[in-house]
Amino acid sequence: MSLDAACIDPKDSEVEGTPPAEKKPKLESSDSGQQALSVGAEISNNADSSQEAQEENKKSITDPLSYTRGNEFTSEIFKIQIHNLPRFGFGDLKKRLKMLGLKPNKIKSPDRQSVCYVCFRSEEERDNALAKLNGHVWKNKTLEAKVAAPIADPYLKKQQQGKVSNIKSNTFSLRLKSNVCPLWNVAYSDQLQQKTGKVKAVLRRVARDDFLHSMFRNIKTQFEGMACELLPIVPSPETSQYRNKNEFTIGYGLDGKTVVVGFRYGLYKDGITAVGDSTNLGLAMPAAVPIIKSFTEFVSKSKWTPYLQHAGTGNWQTLTVRTFRTGDVMAMIDFVPRDLEPTYSNKGSNLILIFLVVLINFFRGSNNSPDVQLLFGEKHVFELLLSMKFRISPEAFFQVNTPATEKLYSLITDWCNVSPATTVLDVCCGTGTIGLTMAKRVKEVIGIEMCAQAVEDAKANAALNGVENTTYYCKKVEDIIQSILSSLESTNPQGDVVAVVDPPRAGLQKAVPVDLFPGTKHCELVLLFTRGSQRSTSNNGSTAGQESYKHKLSSESCEVEGSSGDKGEDQKSSADVAEAHESLLGVESQGCPTI
């Protein structure tokens, strides 16, 4: 790749949560083409002044709070803490803040019991929150709010304490494997046994939960103390080179000089920033390897450097590669422009692939989404799933293990027991994959999704596969679910309504783990729920249950345990999921059919 034709001109960037140094770096090119990096205050010809400036810059780089005094945005400087909270879910709290006219940027709670921390985008928003929350009564609790100190940069804090981790040369390969795929040296049959054990522990905790104990007290003795029957785990057809999406960190190796595109040897909060080679870990599909190698070479020769969070320097942050069975490949580059003006061209590119999309995200600040620009290739990639073809946009969710996803979706379809009279509610539907795989067997599919890009993909996928009985809403679940269910009750009173939703709710019948992530401690958990009774009544006094409404629910993404060092499994945000859950729970009080 070369970077020589002007077609991108981003302005300064503000990156939320990425602590910069106190002074911004500048990249300068000498006449000979060599790069020079100057950091910190201007250095005069006076030796004493130069030494003072260097010492001041050194203090800045090692100060755990230096990022709060930099030029890049962080909402940590507009943080408050709320005390005396009732027991809550994040969806609960977000709704409460919204009701008060507040717009939080981040919400964190160590225990979800009595205190939480909320960040805002400005001093005005923070002060407004303090005024409204102090003395506010919620669930018979009078809230107290005050200004909170920003969190210290964890790496610099470790460095200041002299606790930065050192990785021995004879263990670095094992360290990387253990961090990214912790079960790499465990036989697959034993991995499945371990995951089954963890799922059993989850279902036992559910049965013992204070809120749910009475619900399960009559059945938990039937299933070894679990809340429901647990069926055997469904193994993944592929146990290596299965991931179709991987997010790689762009940084430096153990020597601190060699550019590496891969995974960190450990967590940043533990004082580890070194990045190790990812091409031999056996997780990514083979088509990702030439992309990684080419991009590593490209960054090594680039005039811009890898992004260093602890120093607040550099530009190249992450490389996300999505590869599919169709041969399509998408490379997404996260770039922090600072005050630079990068240019790009695909001339001289040595990426010889059937299909390549290259995009670049320019982070412009926390108030806006990243500015995503297509450098070359088409706007979308495609994947084959259960004899159907699906269009995928850069930010759209798609399961990372396609062969195992086919097993997962087939299981969900079987459990839903759909018929030509069934309406499927595909809640948080993403690109529409689950609903569309059932569409030709049911009356209609109604999808609800917040991401506009994903909704457009879902509509395109319906047309691509000749499916005409779908409707998609780009809205929050809680804003529309009640009107949808009311409409179904009046227009299709004799039909079944089946929902695919994450997370589950009351009425648990049975569960089965599905392994989509071999080599890690993570798996999916499918749960079947049925409604036991219907409290709402129709106009003639009979219950809606007697009016033949029958509802089943299966959950398609129940996290058991995330894999350490892996950047997540594309799970939807916990806050959004909690809101969807609470909205579905609230339907019953409105006299609508319950899911």
List, as own/partner pairs, every contact residues 414-419 make where C-beta atoms lie below 8 angstroms and the sequence separation is at least 24, other chains included.
415/526, 415/528, 415/552, 415/554, 416/498, 416/500, 416/552, 416/554, 417/498, 417/552, 418/442, 418/496, 418/498, 419/496
Question: Is 449 marked as binding a ligand?
Answer: yes
Give the number of residues written for the chain: 595
Cβ atoms of residues 555 and 505 within 8 Å: no
Give exposure, 246-264, as e/b (b: 16+ Cβ within 10 Å): bbbbbbbbbeeeebbbbbb
Distance CA 371, CA 67 (A): 23
Between helix 477-491 and helix 574-586 the angle, nearest 10°, is 40
Among residues 181, 451, 523, 558, the one annotated as catalytic is: 558
Distance CA 382, CA 454 (A): 13
Distance CA 383, CA 426 (A): 20
Distance CA 196, CA 523 (A): 9
Q: Is 236 left (phi over 0), alpha (psi -120 to 50) or beta?
A: beta
Q: Is 430 left (phi over 0), alpha (psi -120 to 50) or beta?
A: left
Distances 85 to 25, 80, 212, 513 between C-alpha atoms, Å: 43, 14, 21, 35
CA 338 from chain center: how many Å?
A: 25
Question: Is 444 marked as binding a ligand?
Answer: no
Cβ atoms of residues 516 and 569 within 8 Å: yes
Identify the CA nearest to 524 among candidates 553, 552, 560.
560
* Residue 416 annotated among the catalytic residues of the structure: no
List, as own/partner pairs, every contact residues 126-133 make where C-beta atoms lie below 8 angstroms and the sequence separation is at least 24, other chains included.
126/78, 126/79, 126/80, 128/101, 128/102, 129/80, 129/97, 129/100, 129/102, 129/104, 130/80, 132/100, 132/101, 132/102, 133/80, 133/82, 133/100, 133/102
Identify the CA nearest to 97 among candidates 50, 124, 130, 66.
130
Question: Is 193 marked as binding a ligand?
Answer: no
**Which residues participate in the annotated binding site for S-adenosyl-L-methionine?**
399, 449, 502
Catalytic amino acids?
558
**Which residues participate in the annotated binding site?**
399, 449, 502
